[in-house]
Amino acid sequence: MYEFWIFITASLIATSCALVGSLLILRRMSMLGDAISHSVLLGIVLVYLLFGQTNILWLLSGAVLIGLLTAWLSEWVHQKAAVPSDASLGLVFTWLFALAIVLIAVYADNVHLDHDHVLFGEMAFIPFNNLQAFEINWGPKAFWLSLSVLLINLLVIGMAFERFKLSSFHPLLATTLGISAAFWHYVLMSLVSITAVASFDAVGSILVVALLVIPASTAYLFANSLSKMLLYAVLFAQTSVLIGLGLAAWLDSAISASMGVAAGLILIISLMVKRIQQAREASRLASQA
Amino acid sequence: MLAFWQDANLVWVLTGTLLLSVSAAVVGGFAVLRQRALIGDVLAHAALPGIMVAFILFESKAPGLVLVSALLSSLLAYYLISWITRVSKIKGDAAMAIVLSLFFSIGMMALSYIQTLDLPNKAGLDRLLFGQAAAITQQDVVWLSWVAIISLCFIALVFHKLRLMSFDPQYAQTLGLNLKAYELSFALVLVLTVVIGLQIVGVVLMAAALLIPITIARFWSQSLRTLLIIAAILSVMSAGISTQISFMVPHMPTGPWIVLILGLLFGLSWLAAPWVRGQRHV
């Protein structure tokens, strides 16, 4: 059961990340996951200082709010101050992170937060933190959390698939048709925050960033439509989870880091395959000519 | 105020942060103008696997070894980003996020492997990435001064070529410039600044020191030379004020205050620039 819970939780998270990540890279917002992974520290510190709570649900809510704030604020600065979007993202998340560190330093005597735990979540502990209700053990909390996040993602992306597609590839046409590109952009940003924050606790921020962008980018190499890209991204993400578990068992290394490395290996192999295909194609054309 | 200047250690901290912020602002300025605003963040994270692999190979964390291994690893990351965007249709932002998370994962994997080894000096390896400005020593300042002088001289010497390369690479190529050599030397200077800086102010704040000053400067000027000068001045101002704050309030870290002040300067410039410029045009 122990390995099973780790596998099923990782695979749920990987599916969520692959779906949201595909939409993210199409909008050239890939660094958002990394930005949110740093700025959530402020949310956690604020919840702790304002409400004195260390309960995981409180901390998660604080983190999601700051995640949303990061996404919204950087978009707002980008549009209103005419700053390039990557620069405005960098400005916002480093500022929020710096504010969190200063707050920790000011209230150093009262803060006993484990920053490492948030950023380097360890999957090996997932099965030990179970949800107890009505005197029944319902299995790991992380499993239920990632399942709910996946359902939210599936529901929103499923319902608004056409809108996401149009506003990703052709924002101007979308606006002409009366679809608010800005509104769907903010919806996507919200999905990213919820997914990222819910996953940090289980798998750590590095794997979230890796799972958001790497399988989606691999899928981007092969897919020729948005639905295929989403499908391939989920498949590549599942493969990374499996290979990562194998690597971790073989080398006795951290599970989430191994999954990130596995995802990277798949991408690099795909890049090589693509290169060879292109070279073959070029030589075939050359020989015909 | 007077006591501030008599405290030898604080003078070192001040000199160190000032030098670091000037070179970060100028080198980072170029990176931001070349659409790589978050490159500092990526390169700083990418130093981790180099440090870890060097530790596994040599079982040492001597400053020189850490520096060289971090440098090689970040340089590899820089070229991997260029390679991915060149050979495939993956865009620059995705390539940066890929390289960041892949390198950091490799680093964390190596770290977890090191933790299973039975070595006496493995403690504190994971702390190398978080930086401590208050712990700047005289030796660090000597290092920093060299890096700052080298980067600033480099930028000053090849300013025109870098400008051409950044804004019109095709024209630069037709002029017969050796783009690869300039690209490599710019990458070296950038990586050197990041790697030295991250040991002092940490990963995230290093990214901020590279990108915020030039972003503020863009409110005030359109000419590259003026932009870089304004960025350097803003950077020095925030470094000076934050060192003063960390001197007055005990246990106050310098790095985060630099970022907070830069953020405030951004807000002020955003509000003031249209007004000041409007007045001038009337």
Percent of chain A past pLDDT 70, that is, above it, reads 87
Residue B1, class by beta-carbon neighbours within 10 Å (0-12 exposed, 13-18 middle, 19+ buried)? exposed
Q: Which residues of A touch B104 (CB under 8 A)?
A: 206, 209, 260
Average pLDDT over residues A17-23: 91
What percentage of chain B exceeds 70 in pLDDT? 87
Q: For A125-171, what is each residue's pLDDT tens digit? A: 566 666 655 666 666 777 888 888 888 888 888 887 788 777 777 77
CA distance A33 to A67: 9
> Would the CB atoms of B108 and A33 count as touching at under 8 Å?
no
Distance from CA of B227 to the nearest CA of A (A): 14
Q: How far, in Å, CA of B270 to CA of B218, rounded?
A: 10
Structure tokens at B144: 């920093």
Distances from the Cα of B36 to the Cαs of B29, B93, B131, B165, B225, in angstroms? 10, 8, 23, 14, 19
pLDDT tens, residue by residue, B146-205: 888 888 888 888 888 888 877 777 787 788 777 788 888 888 888 888 888 877 777 777
CB contact under 8 A, A98 and B205: yes
Alpha carbon distance A232, A226 (integer Å) = 10
Helix extents (H) in chain B: 2-6, 8-33, 39-58, 63-87, 92-116, 138-157, 159-167, 169-174, 179-201, 203-217, 224-248, 254-281
Distance of CA B145 to the CA centre of its chain: 14
B83, B112, B261: best mutation site toward chain A, by most A Cβ within 10 Å? B112
Interchain contact B52–A (C-beta under 8 A):
no
- B179–A contact, CB cutoff 8 A: no
Distance from CA of A79 to the nearest CA of B (A): 13
For residue B52, give the nearest of B113, B121, B3 by alpha carbon: B113
* Mutate which: A26, A78, A91, A109, vs B, most B CBs within 10 A: A91
Query: B259 CA to chain A: closest CA distance, Å?
Result: 6
Q: Per the CB < 8 Å rule, is A91 touching B212?
A: yes
Q: Best residue in A30, A97, A208 to probe B by mutation, most B CBs within 10 Å?
A: A30
ipTM: 0.86
pTM for the full model?
0.86
CB B97 to CB A31 under 8 A? yes
List the single residue in B88, B108, B252 with the smallest CB-CB distance to A271.
B88
8 A C-beta contact, residue A245 and residue A258: yes
Q: Which residues of B touch A78 (CB under 8 A)?
A: none
Task: Please give the Cα distance from B164 to A216 (Å, whole number).
Answer: 35
pLDDT tens column, B6-54: 566 677 777 877 888 888 888 888 888 877 778 888 888 888 888 888 8
CA dihedral in degrees (A215, A217, A219, A221; nearest 10)?
A: -150
Q: How many CB atoms lie within 10 A of CB A269?
A: 11
pLDDT in tens, A48-89: 888 877 677 777 788 888 888 998 898 888 888 888 888 899
